[in-house]
Each structure stands twice: as structure tokens, then as C-alpha cells.
Amino acid sequence: MRLTCPLCGERDLREFTYRGAALARPEGEAWGDDWHDYIHLRDNPAGESREYWAHSTGCAAVLLVTRDTRTHEVLGSALAKGGGA
Amino acid sequence: MPELTLIAQNALPQGVVTTLAGTRIEVLPMRRLTALMPGPDAGPLAEALMAQHGLGLPAPGAVEHAEQAECLWFGMGQYLLVGPAPAPGLAEAATLTDQSDAWATVLLEGPAARDVLARLCPLDLRARAFAPGATARTELAHMAASVTRTGPDGFRVMVFRSMAETLLHELRAALEAVAARGMV
């Protein structure tokens, strides 16, 4: 799999580190089902998945990547800084 | 307590290490390196660099040149000034860190250079993807590295000083393997 970094261009997977699913952080600090979901529960999609990837040995940017887990097709990538795309 | 003066020294003895298949591995002299980190707004740094050093602010993957000075794009929001001591005006526009002895700099040059680097590094090294003058932060034999193409057959490789010997070892082994194939 190759990922396209908006700064560096298309790069090999070896330069990247997986940083988890891109999820909406719940509002507020009171414990509830929304926080339980956010911290403990993960989907395991066969298909489109939104994830954070750090370009660790490259430019050090964190990317928001949309990809298909069945085919490894990368559908989009953007800098996570500023909310991604 | 006696006065101590700390002097930056090159991580490796300077000079040619190996030449095989017309391709040489050479430790370059240590130069003054300053990391420039401007934060969210790089505008003031761009102005100060041009005014004080005659250098533009490099775009991602690019190097800017002036007489005796270079500025490398060095990652997101990071630039590396190579050569001169930073002019005082730069400190107002960015966070500056002296990194002169923090990096080991090695030149790999000759007809086998690209094949040698291709064994160690996942970059697309073809001229259309990585032209002379381009620079990249990448991985080289599992080490975080900076690679700059100095010409059609020349690459300047930088790794952290603590990995200097490993870099030489990996380059030497790869050069021996490429030379043994006798295809260059």
C-alpha cells in the first residue's frame, strides 16, 4: 500500500505509522455511552474506513486517510491539522 | 569550576570512505546547520530569510540556494539553514536550534549511486519523481533520514549523528552488492 502525503507526494507504507480510527470526540466531560463508544468500541469495516496515519519518518505530519480495507485502495488523504478533509 | 568550551565536531572522520564501481561514499565536512521552525505563520521567516540571507523559503521537497548558503525544506513547518550562522533577525521570526553536530552528512556519488540508494530507501528515485535539487525526508535502512539529490548521480544523505556508523555500514554493504553484480 502507498499513501499520498499532501506535502511529500506518494510514499511507501514503511514511512507511516497507523494512529487509529478517525472518530468524532464527544462533547463534555461527563461519562456516558458516547464516551464508552469513543474509547472502547470500534467498528471493523469491510470497506471504507477513515483513519489517522502519521508520516513518521517523512515530514512528521499526521494525515486523515480514507481507504477501502478490502482492496487497500486509498480514496483520499489530507492533513489532519485543521480538521482534514 | 574551570571554564568549559564545547566545540561541535563531525560525527565521522571526513573524507572518502569507499570507492567501488566508480561510485564513492564520502563523509562531507561539517557545516553550520540551524533548524528554523516558524510556527503557524511562516510569512515573517520568509521575509527575514530573503532580507538577511538572500534565500527564499523552500516549498515542500525543495532547496533554495544562495551564495555560501542553502535552505532545505525539512518537514512540515521545518526548514534547515545550511552554511552560515543565522542572522539575528531570524530569531524573531522562528524558533532556531543549532544542529550542526546533530547530523552526519554523507555524499553518495557515481553511476551506481541510485541503485545503491534504491536498496535502502523506499523513495521513487527516478529523475522524473526526484530530480536533481529535490530533497526529501524519508527512511533509509530503518533510520529517519534526509536525502537531497545533488546531481543526476549524486545524493547527499543525512541521518542523526548517533547512527553515523550504521549509515556508512549500510551504504558500504549496498554498494558492494551493487558492484558485485557488475551491471554498472
CATH code at position B106: 3.30.1360.120
Measured CA to CA, the distance from residue B131 to residue B138 in angstroms comes to: 15
Q: Is the pLDDT of residue A85 over 50?
A: no
Helical (H) or strand (E) element with A15? none
Tens of pLDDT, residue by residue over B127-181, are 999 999 999 999 999 999 999 999 999 999 999 999 999 999 999 999 999 999 9
Count of domains in chain A?
Answer: 1
Cβ-defined contact of A14 to B137 (cutoff 8 Å): no
A17 in contact with B, Cβ within 8 Å = no
Tens of pLDDT, residue by residue over B25-66, are 999 999 999 999 999 999 999 999 999 999 999 999 999 999
Residue B176 counted as domain residue: yes
**CB-CB neighbors (< 8 A) of A7 in chain B:** 60-61, 76
Phi, psi (deg, nearest 5) at residue B92: -80, -15
ipTM here: 0.86
Same domain, B72 and B36: yes
Residue B74 counted as domain residue: yes
Same domain, B135 and B79: no
DSSP B142: T
CA distances B6 to A26, A61, B33, Å, are: 51, 34, 16
Give the mean pLDDT of A8-35: 93
Residue A84 counted as domain residue: no
Locate B59 and state its grid cell: 516549498
Q: Is the pLDDT of residue B184 over 70?
A: no
Cβ-defined contact of B76 to A12 (cutoff 8 Å): no
User: pLDDT > 90: what percent of chain B?
Assistant: 91
Same domain, B167 and B108: yes
The parent domain of residue B114 ranges over: 17-30+102-181
- Alpha helices, H only, chain B: 43-53, 113-118, 164-181
Residue B69 counted as domain residue: yes
The CATH number of the domain where A74 resides is what?
3.30.2270.10
